[in-house]
Amino acid sequence: MIARWQPTTVYQIRKMLNESPTTSFSTSPGKMYPIIERLRTRGLIEAERVEGDGRKTERLRVTKDGKAAVKAWVKAIRPVYLLPEDPLRTHAGFADMLSKAERARWRAELLVALKAKLVEIERFAEEWPIPAMKHAHAHAQAVTRTRIAWVEAMIAADD
C-alpha cells in the first residue's frame, strides 16, 4: 500500500484498511507500527517527518529495494494461495454436529450475511474506483457470489 499511495502515512493506510470490506487485517497501532519498523529496518521503506506536525507524523515511501520486494511478492505463486484458508468451508465441514434446525438457521443467517457483504463490497468498489484495484474488487465480488451459490446449494440439499 505504501508503494501504491506514496508518499503516505500510517494513518492513511489504517484508514483505507479499516474502510475496506475486502480485508480482515488488523490495523491497530500495535500491529501497524512494528510492521513499519521492520520494513524500515530491512531498507524497504524510508520516512520523512511532516514539518510542523506535533504528532510526529511521517510520510512513507518505498525504496528501490522495497519496489523490488513488492514486485517479487506480486509474482510469487505459493501453494497456500491456490486454496486459501476458508473458515466457512471448515465450519460447513462440521455442520453435521448441529441439529437439522440449527443447521438450517446457520445456513440462512450465513446467506443473509454473505449477501450483505456483497452489497458492501460493491459499494466499496464504487467509492474507491482505483483502476489497479478493479481486479481485486472483481475477485472479492466473484468469490462472494460463489460462496452465496454454495450456501444456497447447501440449503437446497437440506442435509
Cβ-based neighbour number of residue 116 at 10 Å = 11
- Do 97 and 89 contact (CB within 8 A), yes or no? no
Residue 152, pLDDT above cutoff 80? yes
Pick the CATH number of 2-76 from 1.10.1740.10, 1.10.569.10, 3.40.50.300, 1.10.10.10: 1.10.10.10
Cell of 66: 522495497
pTM, two decimals, is: 0.71
- Do 67 and 3 contact (CB within 8 A), yes or no? yes
Residues above pLDDT 90, as percent of the chain? 60
- Do 110 and 92 contact (CB within 8 A), yes or no? no
User: Domain residues of the chain, as ranges?
Assistant: 2-76, 80-157
Q: What is the dihedral of CA 150, 90, 135, 9, to 10 degrees?
A: 140
Q: Would you place residue 5 in the very low, low, confident or very high pLDDT band (cuts 50, 70, 90)?
A: confident
Question: Greatest CA span in the chain, whole angstroms?
Answer: 64
Query: At what angle are helices 10-19 and 29-41 packed, to 10 degrees?
Result: 130
Q: Would you place residue 148 in the very low, low, confident or very high pLDDT band (cuts 50, 70, 90)?
A: very high
Q: What does the pLDDT look like over 45-60, one tens digit per residue? A: 999 998 888 888 899 9
Q: What does the pLDDT look like over 111-144, one tens digit per residue? A: 999 999 999 998 888 877 677 778 888 899 999 9
Residue-averaged pLDDT of the chain: 90
What pLDDT is recorded for position 19?
A: 82
